[in-house]
């Protein structure tokens, strides 16, 4: 023991912050341990009393129910495990499309709200205030019951969409392309065209950097992607057929069927989340000081490039964290599908499967784990992007 320690006045362990800190943590751990033990033993006890075998044995049992939207093969003789994947894919489908459209709509409205055009700015403002102040569940019910259920019920009265589609209360029916012999060549041509377009873009960018010469990039890229497959198709004699939906006895038959439940859920999620994203975008643009815009203007940059090259890259730093939250909210809110009967993970798995098997603990835990995983992956990707746009300070 050295001199400094020996001269230190003695402190009662009761008042030593270190000792206290350790004591609190031990107490907290003990409490959590007791609660977890209690919950598990309680569950086991109840399961034995209800004579329910725990475990995932049900996974390979036949489900015996139908699902009206399946991205992978499924029928009522498929297993519960298969039903889980169907539900998960349906959730991912609506979440992914929702995120893409909500981002586009949200950015457009957020920027419009700051527009100097009085009418545009006011309309964007009214949109945000109305949409974000009405509960999402109500909005979903509105789209489903008030809009889509108001569509014609009689087959003969279905709206006919130019090009061979139908829209009625049972959904949206679109022609389904069927690729015949020779369309493989067109597909190859399309891929070659895309590759050529990418190479062209890289070269044109390099040429611009070296010589300052510009080219109509968009037009040429479009031509490279569109023309080769069309030529290939023409050479093969247009081997693409469409299965056109046609009014059958009870419903429209054939073609691609898009459920009204899916449309209602997608509309609701996109429109609702876009209002929040618009506010996030507006806050982000506000956070970039006026001086940045003035500096860009004073260098002769027009409004568009100023926004694109100077303001938005800086606003992204402020936008990304709350934008991530909105993406997570949209994904989690998609579970409200249950209210309008869209077959998402919650509706199929914690709904039908849980009711039929009674495996509440397994089903609910697994579903929670799925949402947790989706959310953590989304956060991770957004954080990676956030790190890339972070500012370098001293």
Binding residues for other proteins, rule: CB under 8 A, are 208-212, 214, 289, 291-292, 294-302, 305, 309-310, 313-314, 389, 391-394
Residue closer to other proteins, measured from CB, 368 or 390: 390
Q: How near is the Cβ of 391 to other proteins at its closest, in Å?
A: 5
Residue closer to other proteins, measured from CB, 131 or 281: 281
Taking residue 119's Cβ as centre, other Cβ atoms within 10 Å add up to 8
Q: How near is the Cβ of 315 to other proteins at its closest, in Å?
A: 10
In 3D space, the residue among 172, 197, 195 whose CA is nearest the CA of residue 263 turns out to be 172
Residue closer to other proteins, measured from CB, 122 or 208: 208
Q: How near is the Cβ of 384 to other proteins at its closest, in Å?
A: 17
Residue closer to other proteins, measured from CB, 73 or 209: 209
Q: How near is the Cβ of 296 to other proteins at its closest, in Å?
A: 8
Radius of gyration of the chain (CA): 29
Residue closer to other proteins, measured from CB, 138 or 202: 202
Residue closer to other proteins, measured from CB, 122 or 308: 308
Q: How near is the Cβ of 306 to other proteins at its closest, in Å?
A: 10
Q: How near is the Cβ of 254 to other proteins at its closest, in Å?
A: 52
Q: How near is the Cβ of 293 to other proteins at its closest, in Å?
A: 9
Taking residue 322's Cβ as centre, other Cβ atoms within 10 Å add up to 16
In 3D space, the residue among 128, 96, 135, 98 whose CA is nearest the CA of residue 112 turns out to be 128
Sign, Cα dihedral of 126, 129, 130, 136: positive
- The angle subtended at Cα 242 by Cα 236 and Cα 246, nearest 5°, is 160
Residue closer to other proteins, measured from CB, 156 or 211: 211
Distance, in Å, from the CA atom of 262 to the CA atom of 269, rounded to the nearest integer, reads 11
Q: Using CA atoms in the order 94, 98, 99, 100, what is the torsion angle rounded to 10 degrees?
A: 110
Give Cβ neighbours of residue 166 (< 8 Å, ≥ 6 apart): 158, 159, 160, 172, 173, 245, 247, 252
Q: How near is the Cβ of 209 to other proteins at its closest, in Å?
A: 4
Q: Using CA atoms in the order 47, 53, 54, 59, what is the torsion angle rounded to 10 degrees?
A: -140
Q: How near is the Cβ of 295 to other proteins at its closest, in Å?
A: 4
Q: How near is the Cβ of 346 to other proteins at its closest, in Å?
A: 41
> Is there a contact between 311 and 285 (Cβ–Cβ < 8 Å)?
yes
Q: How near is the Cβ of 214 to other proteins at its closest, in Å?
A: 7
Residue closer to other proteins, measured from CB, 2 or 209: 209
SS (H, E, C) 246-306: EECCCCEECCEEECHHHHHHHHHHHHHHHHHHHHHHHHHHHHCCHHHHHHHHHCCCCHHHH
Residue closer to other proteins, measured from CB, 160 or 391: 391
Instruction: Check residue 125 and give left, alpha or beta (phi > 0: left; psi -120 to 50: alpha).
Output: alpha
- Joined tokens for residue 167: 């829209």
- Joined tokens for residue 276: 């929040």
Residue closer to other proteins, measured from CB, 7 or 210: 210
- The angle subtended at Cα 276 by Cα 273 and Cα 278, nearest 5°, is 110
Distance, in Å, from the CA atom of 116 to the CA atom of 48, rounded to the nearest integer, reads 68
Residue closer to other proteins, measured from CB, 249 or 394: 394
């Amino acid at each position: 023991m050295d001199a400094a320690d020996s001269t230190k006045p003695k402190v009662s362990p009761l008042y030593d912050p270190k000792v206290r800190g350790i004591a609190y943590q031990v107490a907290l751990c003990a409490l959590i341990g007791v609660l977890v033990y209690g919950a598990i033993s309680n569950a086991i006890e109840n399961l034995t009393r209800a004579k329910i075998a725990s475990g995932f044995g049900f996974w390979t049992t036949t489900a015996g129910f139908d699902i009206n939207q399946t991205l992978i093969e499924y029928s009522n003789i498929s297993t519960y495990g298969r039903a889980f994947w169907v539900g998960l894919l349906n959730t991912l489908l609506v979440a992914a499309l929702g995120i893409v459209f909500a981002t586009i709509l949200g950015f457009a409205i957020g920027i419009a709200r700051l527009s100097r055009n009085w009418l545009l700015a006011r309309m964007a403002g009214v949109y945000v205030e109305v949409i974000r102040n009405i509960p999402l569940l109500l909005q979903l019910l509105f789209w489903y019951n008030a809009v889509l259920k108001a569509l014609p019920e009689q087959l003969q009265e279905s709206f006919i969409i130019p090009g061979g589609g139908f829209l009625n209360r049972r959904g949206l029916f679109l022609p389904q392309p069927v690729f015949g012999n020779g369309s493989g060549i067109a597909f190859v041509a399309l891929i070659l065209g895309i590759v050529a377009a990418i190479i062209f873009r890289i070269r044109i960018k390099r040429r611009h950097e070296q010589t300052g010469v510009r080219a109509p990039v968009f037009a040429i890229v479009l031509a490279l992607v569109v023309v080769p497959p069309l030529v290939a198709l023409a050479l093969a004699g247009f081997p693409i057929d469409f299965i056109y939906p046609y009014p059958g006895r009870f419903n429209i038959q054939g073609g691609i069927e898009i459920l009204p439940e899916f449309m209602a859920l997608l509309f609701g999620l996109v429109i609702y989340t876009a209002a929040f994203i618009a506010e996030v975008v507006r806050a982000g643009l506000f956070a970039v000081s006026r001086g940045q815009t003035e500096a860009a203007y004073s260098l002769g940059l027009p409004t568009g490039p100023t926004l694109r090259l100077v303001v938005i890259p800086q606003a992204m730093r402020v936008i990304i964290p709350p934008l991530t939250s909105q993406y997570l909210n949209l994904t989690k809110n998609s579970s409200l599908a249950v209210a309008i009967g869209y077959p998402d993970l919650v509706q199929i798995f914690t709904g039908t499967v849980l009711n039929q098997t009674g495996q509440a603990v397994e089903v609910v835990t697994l579903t929670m784990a799925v949402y947790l995983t989706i959310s953590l992956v989304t956060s991770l990707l957004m954080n990676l992007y956030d790190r890339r746009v972070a500012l370098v300070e001293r």
